[in-house]
């Protein structure tokens, strides 16, 4: 078996302050599977496993025993410490006095990227993100089963079942959330919880040089920030391969082959598309299963062509060239497409009315809004 690796890497550098460098590296593994005589083996499965991440990719050889396995090495570059955002901090005492003005919104100047000089103190007081060292490649499996039947009038009817399953989809997760025990489980606004979490308390990080120019540079801070597992940071986000999706559909189609100047096609799809690619609460053990915004339960398409039966070679008025010039060779074509609308999301809305049963989302929040 011969194995070739072609690596195509592209790097986009943006010379603008505050913009992170982006890089996308892709590679294709090319190879050929042969037998002892050197002839290509058709339909052989080839599997590649990454020693670094354990990710598995596979392919099936083609007519000459050749195969291709494309994969993405990395998208984007996390440059924590090598880029720096200077926040506008107008006051240090909740508005009792102001240090910033419209004429000088940055009285302390701009902060320079520290690079790696601060070690584990890099980005103290700020939100950070990092790459998952064991990021897995997502994949989708598809399957289908169809039955066809020819009907009178050169009409073909087909009924199909189509399904798919997405696995290891990327989901962004916050590793520094407000702990679950401090959130409300009530279905309505929990004012005591809101007051507790939003209460302003003394900031233990005030005055420390590492926090200068960050959201934690003020004298006071919300209690919710100090309840985080790592209160000296904001959100700590990472993309994890924990998402998944699934799709099931019944497809019915009718097609009339072109006879007597008429042909048409009609199809109807009844489907369900569910996905779990986000967390309802950051402390949940698994992503939330919801109806996808690409879910359209019903879709109907109808199109057809009809040749008018007038003129040369047609049924009527076929012996007059002037009539043929005027109305001969004309066709009527029609097309119709209709589908269900997108699913509606009501968030944390509370409806006080007599309605059909609505599935209650067990969302934990510090009150009325998102936690």
Rounded to 5 degrees, φ, ψ at 153 are 85, 20
Is 8 in the same domain as 148?
no
**248 part of a folded domain:** yes
- Domain membership of residue 229 (yes or no) is no
314 found inside a domain: yes
* 162 and 280 both lie in a single domain: yes
CA 5 vs. chain centroid, Å, equals 29
> 305: how many CB neighbours lie within 10 A of its CB?
15
Which DSSP string do the residues of 210-251 spell out, in sequence order?
GGTTSTT-SSEEEHHHHTSSSTTSS-EEEEEEEEEEEEEEEE
Q: Are 226 and 141 in contact (CB under 8 A)?
A: no
Q: Is residue 303 part of a domain?
A: yes
Q: Same domain for 36 and 168?
A: no
Same domain, 163 and 278: yes
Same-domain pairing of 246 and 320? yes
Give the three-class secondary structure for 273: strand
Lookup: tokens for 84: 């720096």
| Backbone phi, psi, residue 306, to 5° | -130, 125
Provide the pLDDT for residue 325. 72
Residue 300 lies in a domain: yes
Q: Does residue 256 belong to any structural domain of this protein?
A: yes
If asked whether residues 165 and 249 sit together in one domain, one would say yes
Same domain, 22 and 152: no
Residues 53 and 144 in one domain: no
**Spatial separation of the C-alpha atoms in residues 245 and 276, rounded to whole Å:** 6
Do 150 and 293 have their domain in common?
yes
Instruction: Walk along the chain (371 residues) and give the pLDDT tens digit of each residue.
Output: 434 333 333 333 333 333 333 444 567 788 888 888 888 888 888 887 776 666 677 888 887 788 888 766 555 566 667 777 787 888 877 788 888 888 888 888 887 887 777 788 888 898 888 877 777 888 889 999 999 999 998 999 999 999 999 999 999 999 999 999 999 888 778 889 999 999 999 999 998 988 887 889 889 999 999 999 999 999 999 999 999 999 999 999 999 998 888 899 999 999 999 999 999 889 999 999 999 988 999 999 999 998 888 777 777 667 777 777 777 778 889 999 999 988 877 766 666 666 666 555 555 555 554 44
**Domain final residue, candidates 77, 101, 131:** 77
**CB neighbour class for 23 (10 Å; exposed up to 12, middle 13-18, buried from 19):** middle
| 150 and 259 belong to one structural domain | yes
State how many domains the chain has. 2
Is residue 253 a part of any domain in this protein? yes
Q: Please check whether residues 36 and 160 belong to one and the same domain.
A: no
Strand partners, 177: none
Does residue 192 fall inside a structural domain?
A: no
The CA-based dihedral angle spanning residues 363, 364, 369, 371, taken in that order and rounded to the nearest 10 degrees: -120
Note whether 247 and 162 are same-domain residues.
yes
Owning domain of residue 51: 1-77
Predicted local confidence at residue 158, as pLDDT? 96
Contact 247, 273 (CB under 8 A): yes
pTM for this predicted structure? 0.64
Q: Bridge partners of 162?
A: 144, 249
């Amino acid at each position: 078996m011969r194995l070739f690796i072609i690596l195509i890497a592209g790097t986009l550098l943006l010379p603008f302050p505050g913009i992170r460098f982006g890089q996308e590296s892709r590679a294709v593994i090319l190879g050929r599977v042969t037998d002892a005589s050197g002839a290509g083996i058709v339909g052989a499965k080839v599997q590649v496993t990454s020693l670094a991440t354990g990710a598995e990719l596979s392919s099936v050889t083609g007519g000459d025993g050749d195969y291709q396995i494309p994969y993405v090495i990395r998208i984007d570059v996390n440059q924590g410490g090598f880029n720096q955002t200077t926040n506008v901090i107008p006051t240090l005492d909740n508005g009792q006095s102001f240090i910033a003005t419209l004429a000088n919104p940055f009285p302390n100047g701009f902060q320079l990227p520290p690079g790696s000089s601060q070690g584990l103190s890099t980005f103290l007081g700020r939100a950070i993100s990092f790459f998952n060292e064991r990021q897995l490649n997502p994949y989708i499996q598809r399957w289908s089963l169809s039955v066809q039947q020819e009907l009178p009038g050169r009409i073909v009817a087909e009924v199909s079942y189509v399904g798919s399953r997405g696995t290891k989809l990327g989901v962004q997760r916050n590793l520094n959330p407000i702990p679950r025990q401090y959130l409300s489980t009530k279905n309505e606004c929990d004012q005591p919880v809101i007051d507790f979490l939003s209460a302003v308390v003394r900031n233990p990080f005030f005055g420390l040089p590492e926090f200068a120019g960050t959201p934690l540079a003020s004298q006071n801070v919300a209690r919710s920030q100090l309840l985080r597992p790592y209160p000296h940071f904001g959100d700590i986000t990472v993309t994890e391969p924990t998402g998944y999706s699934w799709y099931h559909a019944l497809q019915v189609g009718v097609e009339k082959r072109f006879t007597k100047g008429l042909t048409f096609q009609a199809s109807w799809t009844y489907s369900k598309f569910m996905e779990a690619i986000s967390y309802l609460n950051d402390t949940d053990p698994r992503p939330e299963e919801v109806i996808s915004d690409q879910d359209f339960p019903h879709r109907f398409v109808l199109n057809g062509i009809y040749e008018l039966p007038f003129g040369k070679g047609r049924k009527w008025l076929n012996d007059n060239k002037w009539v043929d010039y005027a109305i001969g060779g004309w066709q009527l074509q029609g097309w119709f497409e209709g589908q269900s609308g997108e699913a509606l999301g009501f968030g944390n809305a509370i409806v006080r009315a007599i309605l059909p049963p609505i599935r209650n989302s067990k969302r934990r929040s510090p009150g009325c809004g998102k936690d």
